[in-house]
Structure 1
Amino acid sequence: MGAEQLSLVCLPFAGSGAGFFREWKKSEVAGIRVCPIQLPGREELFLEKPFEDVADAVAELTPRIVAEVGVRNPIALFGHSLGAVLAYEIARELGRIAHPGLHHLYVSGSPGPQSGRTERATGLSDEEFVAKVQRFAGYRHAAFDNPGLLEVLLPILRADVAMHENYRPTAGPPLTVPITALRGTRDGLVSRAQAEQWATMTEAEFEYRELQGVHMYLTEEPERILRIVAEGCACR
């Protein structure tokens, strides 16, 4: 890719927003421009209805991403958990519209899309839902201990979880861009074998990388992830 700057488009995990990745913009890793993508129902889009279907999210987010990063500028997509599913389907849509800028897909904390979600939280009572989501994620969101914040977060989190649990991958040929699957070394939710399922989703190169931590390893030292992305850029 030479000296071109890569736009790293970041898709949030369930219950989170673009604010999580805005912190990544403070990183000094050269050659990477972090582009957080906001989902409706949170932060500055609080009044908008959250997505309930991955296809609807992809249809709305893809043209927004193209408008932000440009038609020919190099792009990589990054997503964790639900964000990985969104990033993958957006990569498929960019391929469908023959967008020339996509260089790489980074999927984090996620089994391959063909495996689906077998254990569900959708439809549970608030208390049971929060407990199960906490167990899924392997960490406790600060809002869970604040009744006022929890009241605000729950509709968003329920919509995100339902969208993830109801997701079925789009049929079609594998991607033609490289995929890197990332996983915390102590992730009790997604196994190495599940993360390596992503190898079947591309005709190009596949790489599996582990970083120290649990399922939500990415909450610490984002520079580790950005360095991996920068290494991938340098090889292209």
Structure 2
Amino acid sequence: MIPLQLPGREECFLDTPYTDVVEAAGKLAPQALRLAEGEGSVALFGHSLGAVLAFEIAREIESLGFPELQHLFVSGSPGPWTGREQRATGLDDEEFMVRVTEFAGYRHAAFDDPGLREILLPLLRADVAMHEDYTPLSREPLSVPVTAMRGADDELVSQEQSEQWRSATSGTFTTTEFPGGHMYVVDSAEQVLRTVARSIGNGW
């Protein structure tokens, strides 16, 4: 699995973060194809905000006529046409952090350090605004198979909301659950990777 590097993170820390999911996907799709060059087939995986990013990247890749796109895995997210009822964008710092902690189901210790918080908060605000303002480019479904994943105890994304991804593809659709809450991917990373590998025919 190869991660796509977003602006504002790690070695791209000084770059300006994206503010629009569709625009970000248009720029990330060529990056994904370059990273996958020579691999033979491509599958995309995204969690939460990453799920809608991966969905729009898949749409962009399909529009380019790239036949090697094999599967889309979306995790911890309602369907792309379901907006979030509660918003954090526009709240003051304290209320913003409380609301985001509710959304994510956890609070990273870095935000309890005043110095780190000052550095990280603008990036977090940009990500949250991008997610909350997201409007899908089209209601046309993808043709690539889609698997929707969630934590069985996720209080943020219900099984019904996960099932909403069914309308995002005209191809095969499956759902699967893992032990844990919204951030199940942290504790079940190996199990998730095995599931992805089996789904694309590269069983471990």
Please confirm whether the aligned pair reaches a TM-score higher than 0.5, indicating the same fold. yes
For each residue in 1:16-64, what CA deviation from the matched residue of structure 2 results, as whole angstroms up to 9, or x when unmatched?
xxxxxxxxxxxxxxxxxx1011110111111100000112211211111
- For 1:210 and 1:221, locate their aligned partners in 2 and report how far apart those are by CA, in whole Å: 11
Partner of residue 143, structure 1: 110
| Structure 1 position 230 matched with structure 2 position 193 | no
Consecutive unaligned residues of structure 2, counting only runs of 5 or more, are: none
Distance 1:72 1:187 in 2: 34
Is the contact between residue 157 and residue 182 of structure 2 (CA under 8 Å) also seen in structure 1?
yes
| Partner AA of 2:182 in structure 1 | H
Q: What is the CA-CA distance between 1:71 and the residue it aligns to?
A: 7.0
> Secondary structure at 2:167's aligned position in 1?
helix
Whether 1:214 aligns to 2:189 is no
Which residues of 2 match residues 30-69 of structure 1 at below 5 A? 34-69=1-36
- 2:11 counterpart letter in structure 1: E
Percent of aligned positions that are identical? 55
Backbone CA RMSD of aligned residues: 1.4
Q: Secondary structure at the match of 1:234?
A: coil
Distance change (3 Å), C-alpha of 1:158 and 1:216: same
Distance in 2 of aligned mates of 1:146 and 1:169: 36
Moved over 2 A (4+): none
Quote how far apart the aligned CAs of 1:116 are: 1.2
The SS at the match of 2:58 is: helix
Instruction: Between 165-174 and 120-129, report the one with greater CA deviation.
Output: 165-174
Q: Distance in 2 between matches of 1:224 and 1:136?
A: 24
- CA distance in structure 2 between the partners assigned to 1:144 and 1:72 by the alignment: 38
Within a 5 Å distance, the mapping from 1:1-236 to structure 2 comes to 34-70=1-37, 73-234=40-201
The equivalent residue for 1:17 is none
TM-score (norm 1): 0.83
Q: Which amino acid in 2 is paired with 1:49?
A: T
* 2-structure distance, mates of 1:184, 1:198: 16
C-alpha distance in structure 2 between counterparts of 1:58 and 1:234, whole Å: 26
How many Å apart are 1:73 and its aligned residue?
A: 2.1
* Distance in 2 of aligned mates of 1:150 and 1:173: 40
User: How many angstroms does 1:234 deviate by?
Assistant: 2.0
Residue correspondences, number? 203
Which sections of structure 1, spanning at least 5 residues, go unmatched? 1-33
Deviations 1:91-148 (A, max 9, x none): 0001111111100000000000011122100000001101100010001112121111
Q: Is the Cα contact below 8 Å between 1:77 and 1:105 reproduced in 2?
A: yes
Q: CA deviation at 1:72?
A: 7.1
Cα separation, 2, equivalents of 1:73 and 1:159: 34
CA distance in 2, matches of 1:234, 1:67: 22
- The superposition leaves residues 75-99 of structure 1 with CA deviations (integer Å, 9 ceiling, x where unpaired) of 1000000000000000000111111
